Structure 1
Amino acid sequence: MGSAEVSSAETEAEVRDEAAEFAVRHAELARGYGGNGDPDDPAMVQAMQMVLHIPKTHPPARSALLEAAAAAAVAVCLDPRSGPGGEWEPRYLAWKRSRIRKVARRARGSQWVAAGGVDGVTIDVDGAQARAFVPGPVGAIDQRIRKLQIGGTDLEHDEPGPPDPRLPVLWVNAALEMSVGKAAAQVGHASMLLAGALPVTAAAAWAEHEFRCAVRDADDQRWAGLVAEVAAGRAVAVRDAGFTEVAPGSMTVIAVPARA
């Protein structure tokens, strides 16, 4: 066997190994969440922190920022470091097997730069940036993240136009009038649910594109049609626990797989 043939065989073996490892991570995500409930110690409650980059001047478009947040959240879950033997695995599983929580904060300037030094994944969508961090206890949040403001800043709703049919669409329930931080957490839930519900080959293909998705607001009429899609098993829905902003059990986001 020549050197070129050996190299090709090694490459094929590496691709198969990567696919098998991704399948294991996907299977864990697809199993669902929350089986262990919350710990007795409030400081040990598990949460995924997220930071939205919202500069004071020239803030990003709301929809693009939410798209970045959704992609970052699922990227952490399916990152090799969250898989078996990975450095993030214990923290990721402790969170995933508890009650799922996400907390979105905002940062600008040096705060945003400092946040980049904390374990996580940053996604950029058309200049809008969000970073999702490896989950952990709320009592042990890195100080670079803990000091960041959770509320107080919102972004105007924009109209980005029809979504690309090659992308999954995360439809936000406009009637709930969620803040950008709340919506970021909810689309993060939605991207996780969708990735777990997809066949592993489709999820792997989505990962190749950094989990790029479209986020759009759904009015009452569109929302009614989307609820029917959920009932038919063609879409997945996020139902909020009601800790902040919305009533318990509210359906906040519906994720629809790519059409093309």
Structure 2
Amino acid sequence: MSDESTGTVDAPDDTDTFALRHAELARGYGGAGDPADPALVQAMQMVLHIPKTDPPARSALLAAAAASALAVCLDPRSGPGGEWEPRYLAWKRSRIRKVARRARGAQWVAAGAVDGVTVEVDGAQARAFVPGPVGAIDQRVRKLQIGGTDLDHDEPGPADPTLPVLWVNAALEMSVGKAAAQVGHASMLLAGALPVEVVEDWARREFRCAVRDADAEQWARLTAEVAAGRAVAVRDAGFTEVAPGSMTVIAVPAAH
């Protein structure tokens, strides 16, 4: 995991300040209505590195996206007194939105200079940016295409049992950009639901997680886990691609 402007993102800096950032995440999200001015709608922009040749595996890219979104939320700069705190809280306490874009070559390099955190998983790279109003997106990000490129579904095999698993509802046939936003929501929800000590351990592993597709039979078992309180689910607002209220991703904690 890296921040292009400052180098490697370290493990939790200390228990007290990490606990404060986790407590804010665990409070949930504002869910207030959108502002009258559409330019003031808050969103977290994300960028997926998808080179034209030798593109990454879809599952690894989604895992990188999920980790990068959570890393921004729990970064010291998003915490009390941090330089990112006002922008982060303005977003978190309103209606949560994420927008995933794609980049390659010089565009990817330029995006790395915008405030945010980059994560690499098995050669796949994604960067989540500090949230802000959609009317004030940095031009290096604004110019990046939101749709138009997708990746084939891959078969990565069984997930590491020591990692959380984010199960994507395969029946919804989401694009890679839509799925990236949804797994970003899922990593945040899961971290907020877990005890702070568990999330600290997760942070030491750079929020590494596994992303897998769930077929209808698996999804039925997973929804039972959600009902039993052993997993958390993302229910989409339905702005793009899927119907409002659709359950898009179910996050299952790591086995301990």
The TM-score, its normalising length taken from structure 1, stands at 0.93
For structure 2, the 5+ residue unaligned runs are: 1-10
Q: Is the counterpart of residue 230 in structure 1 residue 226 in structure 2? A: yes
Report the counterpart of residue 184 of structure 1 in structure 2. 180
Runs (4+) of structure 1 moved beyond 4 Å? none
**Are positions 1:149 and 2:132 aligned together?**
no
Q: Is the 8 A contact 1:173 1:223 kept in 2?
A: yes
Alpha-carbon distance in 2 for matches of 1:226, 1:30: 22
Partner SS state of residue 228, structure 1: helix
Of all paired residues, the percent bearing the same amino acid is 85
Map 1:50-129 to 2 at 5 A. Answer: 50-129=46-125
- Which stretch shows the higher mean deviation, 37-46 or 195-204? 37-46
The answer (yes or no) to whether the contact 1:37–1:97 under 8 Å persists in 2 is: no
In 2, Cα distance between equivalents of 1:62 and 1:17 = 31
User: Secondary structure at 2:14's aligned position in 1?
Assistant: helix
Query: Taking structure 2 as the reference length, what is the TM-score of the superposition?
Result: 0.95
1:217 alignment partner, SS class: strand
Q: What is aligned with 2:249? A: 253
More helix by share: 1
Equivalent-residue separation in structure 2 for 1:209 and 1:70 (angstroms): 13
Looking at structure 1, the residues matched to 30 and 56 of structure 2 have their Cα atoms a distance apart, in angstroms, of 33
Question: Which residue, 14, 17, 26 being the options, matches 1:21?
Answer: 17
- Please state whether the residue corresponding to 2:94 is helix, strand or coil: coil
- Trace 1:4-15 onto structure 2 (pairs within 5 A): none
Distance 1:41 1:97 in 2: 17
Where structure 1 has 5 or more consecutive residues not aligned to the other structure, the ranges are 1-14
After superposition, what is the alpha-carbon deviation per residue over 1:46-99, rounded to whole angstroms, capped at 9, x for unaligned?
000000000000000000000000000000000000000000000000000000
Aligned pair partner of 1:159 in 155, 161, 166: 155
Alignment-derived partner of residue 172 in structure 1: 168
Query: How many Å apart are 1:37 and its aligned residue?
Result: 3.0
